[in-house]
Amino acid sequence: MFCFLVFLQPPPFYKRVMNARVLRRFIILMCIATFVAFTGWFIIGGIRDQEPGDFHTRAGDILLSDQKFDKALARFDEALREMPNHRGALMGRAIVFMQTGNYIEAAGELTYLIEFLKKTLKPDDPTGRGVLAAAYANRGILKDRQGKYKAALTDYIEALKIDEEVVEGPGVIDKILYSSGRTSTVRKRAQYIYKQLQKPAHKRVLKIPELDAQQRMHKP
């Protein structure tokens, strides 16, 4: 009986303190382990939920912003190997070609993207409309740089018609060009070309290098 009672006696004070410390350490470690597990699950889940080609396209976009054109192009090519006709990767390749002065390749890439989207775009795909509008805007800039002003104007107007938000503007030419919404770089340039083309050829001023240099590429 004595042994039994001794067994039931509370442990000495220092043991209770040690037990509390062990328990506290255990709780902290479990919290850390739970955080790490959920963080890993979130990251892995995010990667798993991406469509094929998305990861390389995002990486290429970052490299493109850093003007690392060769590395960006390699990433976009890798995305297209994973997902042929990946819209973002096709657009990325076109912008790389534009930025590096490879206008023939850029025109081919943009025209291919436009034709592909016109065949496959669904009415409930606002992202796809954005890509199509950006493709028209970029092809317009490309033609503008090459002095093909009527063709550039046609593409600018098409971009504004498709998705005005993407080209930062708020559909008959006058309504598109002179609507009351925020003026975009695309709309401003289209307005300017339109006005100049109304003048006799010898009075037109269509190329202003310092302003032309401010035109930016459009990404969806």
Domains of the chain: 52-106 (1.25.40), 121-220 (no CATH)
Beta carbons of 159 and 133 less than 8 angstroms apart: yes
**Residue 211: what pLDDT?**
53
Residue owning tokens 């995002």: 58
Question: Which of 15-19, 153-157, 206-210 is the least confident region?
Answer: 15-19
Encode 165-180: b = buried (16+ Cβ within 10 Å), e = exposed.
Answer: ebbebeeeeeebbeee
Q: Indicate if the pLDDT at residue 80 is higher than 90.
A: yes
Q: What is the mean pLDDT of residues 11-30?
A: 54
**What pLDDT, in 10s, does the model give residues 171-203?**
445 545 555 444 468 888 888 898 889 898 888
Q: Residue 124: what residue type?
A: D
Average pLDDT score over the chain: 76
Residues 190, 195, 201, 205, CA torsion sign: negative
Q: What is the pLDDT of residue 32?
A: 54
Q: What is the mean pLDDT of residues 9-25?
A: 53
Structure tokens at 66: 């850093």
Per-residue pLDDT, 46: 45
**The pLDDT of residue 185:** 80
Selection from 203, 205, 180, 179 nearest residue 192 by Cα: 205
Placement of tokens 């902290």 in the chain:
28
The structure's pTM equals 0.69
Helical spans, DSSP H, in the chain:
2-8, 13-49, 54-65, 69-82, 87-99, 103-120, 126-145, 149-162, 173-177, 185-197, 209-212
Instruction: Give the chain's length.
Output: 220
Q: What is the pLDDT of residues 108-162, one digit of tens each?
A: 999 999 999 999 999 889 889 989 999 999 999 999 999 999 999 999 999 988 8
